[in-house]
Amino acid sequence: MGAVAIAPVQAAGLTQTQIQSITSLLASFGADAATIANVTAALNGQATPGTGGSGTGGACPALSRSLQMGSSGADVKALQVFLNGSASTQIAVTGAGSPGSESTYFGGLTKAAVVKFQAANGVSAIGIVGPATRAAIAAVCGGTGTGTGTGTGTGTGTGTTGGAITVSAGAQPVNSLAPLGATRVPFTTFTVTNNSNAAVTVNSVTVQRVGLGVDANFSGVVLLDSNGLQTGTAKTLNSNHQANLDGFTLAAGASASFTVAGNISSTATANSGQVVALQVVAINTSATVSGSLPISGASQTINTTLTLGSVSTTTSSYDPGAAQTKNIGDSGVRVSGLRFTAGSAEDLKLYNVRWRQVGTASASDIANVMTFVGDTGYPTTLSADGKYYTTVFPGGLLIAKGNNIDLYTKVDLTGTNSASRTVDFDIDKVTDIYFVGQTYGYGVAPSGTYTPWYTGYVTTINAGSATTIGKAIEVPAQNIAVNVPNQILGGFATEFKGEAVSVTSLPITIATSSGFTGAGLGCITGISLVDSNGVVVAGPVDESGTTCDNATGPTFTDTITFPTGRHVWTIKGKIPSGVANNSTVIVTTVPTSWSGVTGQTSGNTISLTGNGSFAMNTMTVKAASLTAVMASQPTSQNIVTGGQKVLLGQVQLDASQSGEDIRMSSIPLTQTGVITELTSCQLYNGSTALNTGSNVPSALAATTESTTFTFDNTLVIPKGTVMTLGIKCNVSGSGTHVWSVSTTAMTATGVTSGASVNVTETASSGGTMTIVSGGSVALTVDSSSPSYKLVAAGTTGQVMGIFKLRASNEAVSLTKLGLTLAGAASGSGATKSNAAGGSTNLGKDDLIQVYIYDGSTLVGTATFTGGSATTTATSTLTTAVTLPKDTDKLLTIKADLAQIGSSQSGGIGDVIKVDPLNSEGSGVSSSNTIKSGATAGVAGVQMFKSYPIFAAGPAIAANPNGTDAVLKNFSIKANAAGPVGLYQIAVNISTSSAVVTNLKLFAYTDSSYSSPANVSGTTGGQFGGTATFLAGGNDIASPTVTFYQSTPLQIPADSTMYFSVRGTITPGSTATNWTITTTVLGDAATSTAPDGFNATSTPGRTSLVAGVATTTSGPDFIWSDNASTTAATADIDWFNGYYVQGLPSTGF
């Protein structure tokens, strides 16, 4: 950051043209040759008179400007040589930047080395070589030398040690230009060192304007620290041409460098060529000051011809837009916002901004003060006086010419006792925002002279408030018991913001139904308010009065503190015995009737206005009750002998109508069957066994008799719920077994009351379980398996089929899957055109690899072997697949297909069918090996080098008429795998009340049907010949018109051609409406080549003219996949339209 503040030409990477422009201006103002040479050297990063020094360091660089990422020049290389002189700051060990390989560019490696040097020498480690870093480099090199200068305005200062503080000259800025409106133009650098053992306060620094210029050239003078940040506020020159700049405090033994900079007036238009300087003439402090004063620095020439950048300001949409009130505890509160727009002269960079908090809130009332640009937050640093918040933007934020950024502040309101205080972030002066033009490198300020320059809206800190107080959904309607303490009567939720709030009186109303009436019933007692942790925060209190059946209730008089945020509170009490079953309780409260409502931070009375009366959820009085019944699941089924922990039945314990939780220690159940076939029977709640060890019956009671299962720990069935327990046993033998709930009495008690509960035992039985010897698996092709389709050779991961497996009697762990190609079909036969042709082994050579997937998980692979009709493959699965009992499991079969072409194994037109053959696995319960056959049925795929894809085109207009009327539009695309050739396209024409003549088919290369394709032997893209006459007069009866090309039309891979059927249309003499239906025809059966279309002949047809026919003995659509090369009509790789994508067999 210091780089930007100190050097007006900083690391902007000035070109020689720009340097020449500046020095030419100096010459025009009468500057002498020495001054011009000095400035030229400095702008080129070379050492200048007055900046030299002697010391004990190694290769000490002559640095007269600040350097940062992107800087370039000889001084950068000198800096790199210096850094490479120490192993701790070495830029690189080898390669670019290493000793002997230094460059003139300041990049990331240089920055990293600078950071190391700064960290080691007590300088802020920001990676920018500013005044503080240059001073540290000078110190390392032997830094207490004397600098003498011959250039204009370069002073001489000799540092001496002694007294409390020492002041000495620093490395001075170069003499240059001071354009109108430029801010923070650097003049004089000095260093102050505290030699004492205590902190020293410098009250002010007195500077004096000298040189051949007037005070009016300055709109203000500022003091900048070593990071380029402004210290204090800008000061104006007095009648003595002096200004007292704000002071600072130096810690014991500390040293700090400062630069006196000037904000150049934008109105000094008559002062061009004046040369001004700012001397440090006094350090005002109660401590003893040693050193040589005055200290002189650079002399800057007032310039009125350079056009600097500009920045305009508007209120940001992120600004609050109006005064606002926020609560204590609110975070991320937006308090001020501005939008800055760069003018057209220069790109700008924003380096820092300083806000002033002028509200009544103290620094301890707000926290996490951040300046945001868009969605990115930057921290602030608070000044010692607690007024100013400064944000530094590392490296600067670029605003391109004409662009803008939004800058706004957010704070957290954290202070105690800060109610009614205000937060108001202003910007005092335009120079509190530091922009730098990226063409000339000068500071740029927005326009305006007001103080404060920007006034933010006031944010008033409010005491606590209640957002909502209402019924809590977390405390639902439920059953409650009589004569049991701590029964839930209702619940509510509070949400306070800003601060915790206490309440000293909270009345409630309890409305009960008629079941509470009757002599001697009494009222609800032991009423308490409980927080979400179960802690009683108020009460207990009792209802009082002669009647307690409606609209009565107590008041909690404890002091209750409600924290900030949303919290749930529960009201509990004891229902008197004798209240009738199904009686109801409804608790209501009115927050506006609460009293003593006080903010715990502010001490203010908090208003609850807006939170009206509300009723909590209804509670229903229920006696403790429980019903036991056998569940309908599992249904009757086969189970496998030898199974372990087999689920044989489930019993449901229903406490949905109970007023309290129910406890049981045991349960009697009845089993019908051969008792010796069932052992180690246990009850499970989910996956948890309830009876283990000695509580597992060693033997069951006789058939139809009850066996009592004793739980390891008492079982609690929560009120309002139904608990389902599973009965699991080890099974053997071959009998049938049924578990039942009989009328044998069950014992239960209320959890809270301890009273006995009358359990209702519903006589019921579960499903009949029949023990069989083992499981089985059915293996078929699933209905979701893909339909027959054409595919491209070389495709990977092609879905070949989806198999369905279903295990019966027990779950099966599938370990092997057999596959077969028995249903496949060869394509163009063993005779291959250009060494490519049909398979002779049912597609084995068409398959590179087969994969088996369980969902998205690869579980096995397979490779086919053999060469006959029994070609099979067996995959031993890499991951066993569990087939759940009586549940379908789907496996997807995919394959990588071979290529078609010379020396490739793929067969032209082969139909590949990978069907299920068999499976093998083991029974999960029985551990038996289970094998199965399969039912084949995949549709298969037909493989080609490439294939065509049809699509319908734009609809035609109604009642086409005249010459070249469009009758049908469609397109044909070649698959991305390769080009396709088109030999023949057939259409069907039918008309009503119109005559069609001169029927033609045209091909185009664009979707607007305007660029004819290059069709061999024709002009204008015409495909085939012209059907000059179609028999039938005004009502043509669907003749087939076949267009064919003796030289087939080629469509390149992944390209589309567009086709249009056109003809001359003559409506009947009396017709007002007529129809013409054109259908592009497909084929209903597969073929390897059209009849007679082979090496020795062409398709037979009755020709009307060359290239068109109205009858055909072969297919309707003929195409080639160009298996090895572009197919000639004598080659074998020609096919019809069967299953071509987008071309139905009936046409379209």
Cα–Cα dist 77/84, whole Å: 11
Percent of the chain topping pLDDT 70: 85
Instruction: Identify the residue whose tokens are 């940062």.
Output: 68
Highest mean pLDDT among 41-55, 423-437, 807-821: 807-821
- Helix (H), strand (E), coil (C) string for 846-914: HEEEEEEEECCEEEEEECCECCCCCCEEEEEEEEEEEECECCEEEEEEEEEECCCCCCCCCCCCCEECC
Given a cut of 60, whether residue 1148 has pLDDT beyond it is: yes
Report the candidate in 723, 1139, 705 with the shortest Cα–Cα distance to residue 947: 1139
For residue range 342-368, list pLDDT tens digits in order. 888 889 889 989 999 888 888 888 889
- Which tokens sit at 968? 């049908």
pTM over 0.75: no
Task: Output phi, psi for 431, to 5 deg.
Answer: -80, 0
Report the candidate in 848, 939, 862, 858 with the shortest Cα–Cα distance to residue 892: 858
Percent of the chain topping pLDDT 90: 38
pLDDT value, residue 587: 92
pLDDT value, residue 32: 59
Report the candidate in 741, 737, 784 with the shortest Cα–Cα distance to residue 760: 741
- Helix (H), strand (E), coil (C) string for 57-86: CCCCCCCCCCECCCCECHHHHHHHHHHCCC
pLDDT value, residue 425: 92
CA 572 remoteness from chain centre: 45
Given a cut of 90, whether residue 84 has pLDDT beyond it is: no
Given a cut of 90, whether residue 894 has pLDDT beyond it is: yes
Given a cut of 90, whether residue 218 has pLDDT beyond it is: yes
Cα–Cα dist 61/752, whole Å: 87
Sheet holding 847-854, edge to edge: 776-781, 798-808, 888-897, 847-854, 857-862
Q: Is-contact 330 414, C-beta < 8 A?
A: no
Task: Output phi, psi for 113, to 5 deg.
Answer: -70, -40
For residue range 565-587, list pLDDT tens digits in order. 889 999 999 988 888 888 889 99
Task: Output phi, psi for 75, to 5 deg.
Answer: -70, -30
The H-assigned helical ranges of 498-537 are none
- Which tokens sit at 5? 């503040």
Cα–Cα dist 173/441, whole Å: 14
Cα–Cα dist 225/5, whole Å: 9
- Which tokens sit at 53? 């020094």
Cα–Cα dist 369/469, whole Å: 32
Q: Give the other-Cβ count within 10 Å of 240's Cβ.
A: 10
DSSP label of 1012: B
CA dihedral of 58, 62, 65, 71, whole degrees rounded to 10: -70
Beta strand 994-1004 with 980-992 is unpaired
Q: Is-contact 726 684, C-beta < 8 A?
A: yes
Asked which of 36-45, 384-393, 450-459, 536-545 is least confident by mean pLDDT, the reply is: 36-45
CA 221 remoteness from chain centre: 49
- Which tokens sit at 61? 């660089």
Cα–Cα dist 231/214, whole Å: 25
Q: Which residue has the higher pLDDT, 13 or 887?
A: 887
pLDDT value, residue 266: 86
If you average pLDDT over residues 250-274, what whole number do you get?
90
Instruction: Identify the residue whose tokens are 């503040």.
Output: 5
Highest mean pLDDT among 65-69, 465-469, 811-815: 811-815
Instruction: Identify the residue whose tokens are 């049809």.
Output: 950
3-class DSSP assignment, residue 1058: strand
Cα–Cα dist 169/700, whole Å: 104
pLDDT value, residue 499: 79
Question: Is 197 exposed, middle or buried, given 0-12, 13-18 or 19+ CB atoms closer than 10 A?
Answer: exposed
pLDDT value, residue 29: 53
Highest mean pLDDT among 14-18, 60-64, 87-91: 87-91
Report the candidate in 636, 632, 631, 629 with the shortest Cα–Cα distance to residue 767: 636
Asked which of 207-221, 430-444, 540-554, 793-807 is least confident by mean pLDDT, the reply is: 540-554
If you average pLDDT over residues 515-532, what whole number do you get?
80
For residue range 14-28, list pLDDT tens digits in order. 556 656 656 665 565
Question: Is 2 exposed, middle or buried, given 0-12, 13-18 or 19+ CB atoms closer than 10 A?
Answer: buried
For residue range 627-637, list pLDDT tens digits in order. 999 999 999 98
Q: Is-contact 698 643, C-beta < 8 A?
A: no
Contacts of 473 (CB under 8 A, 6+ apart): none
Cα–Cα dist 299/709, whole Å: 103
Contacts of 481 (CB under 8 A, 6+ apart): 487, 575, 621, 622, 623, 624, 658, 659, 660, 719, 750, 752, 753
Q: Point out which residues pair with 138 in neighbouring strands.
A: none
Given a cut of 70, whether residue 874 has pLDDT beyond it is: yes
pLDDT value, residue 17: 61
Cα–Cα dist 384/1, whole Å: 20
Q: Is-contact 940 913, C-beta < 8 A?
A: yes
Strands (E) in 596-721, as ranges, are: 598-599, 614-615, 619-621, 626-630, 637-640, 646-654, 662-672, 678-685, 688-689, 706-717
Q: Is-contact 500 465, C-beta < 8 A?
A: no
CA 838 remoteness from chain centre: 51
- Which tokens sit at 739? 């578990």
Report the candidate in 568, 572, 396, 540 with the shortest Cα–Cα distance to residue 474: 568
If you average pLDDT over residues 311-337, what whole number do you get?
86
Looking at this protein, which amino acid is placed at residue 695?
Answer: N
Q: Which residue has the higher pLDDT, 1110 or 583?
A: 583
Q: Is-contact 722 640, C-beta < 8 A?
A: no
- Which tokens sit at 662? 């129910």
If you average pLDDT over residues 686-706, what whole number do you get?
92
If you average pLDDT over residues 974-981, what whole number do you get?
94
Instruction: Identify the residue whose tokens are 């190391």.
Output: 116
Asked which of 473-482, 878-887, 1129-1138 is least confident by mean pLDDT, the reply is: 1129-1138
- Which tokens sit at 1084? 């209903």
Q: Which residue has the higher pLDDT, 841 or 175?
A: 175
Q: Is-contact 699 678, C-beta < 8 A?
A: no
Cα–Cα dist 901/911, whole Å: 17
If you average pLDDT over residues 925-940, what whole number do you get?
90
Task: Output phi, psi for 388, to 5 deg.
Answer: -105, 135
Residue 40: which region, alpha, beta or left (left: phi > 0; alpha: psi -120 to 50)? alpha
Strands (E) in 22-175, as ranges, are: 165-169
If you average pLDDT over residues 943-965, what whole number do you get?
92
The H-assigned helical ranges of 525-632 are none
Given a cut of 80, whether residue 274 has pLDDT beyond it is: yes
Cα–Cα dist 373/394, whole Å: 13
pLDDT value, residue 690: 95
Number of helices (H) and strands (E), helices first, in the chain? 6, 78
Q: Which residue has the higher pLDDT, 860 or 908?
A: 860
Cα–Cα dist 634/887, whole Å: 14
Contacts of 575 (CB under 8 A, 6+ apart): 480, 481, 482, 483, 484, 487, 524, 585, 621
For residue range 369-394, list pLDDT tens digits in order. 999 998 899 999 888 888 899 999 98
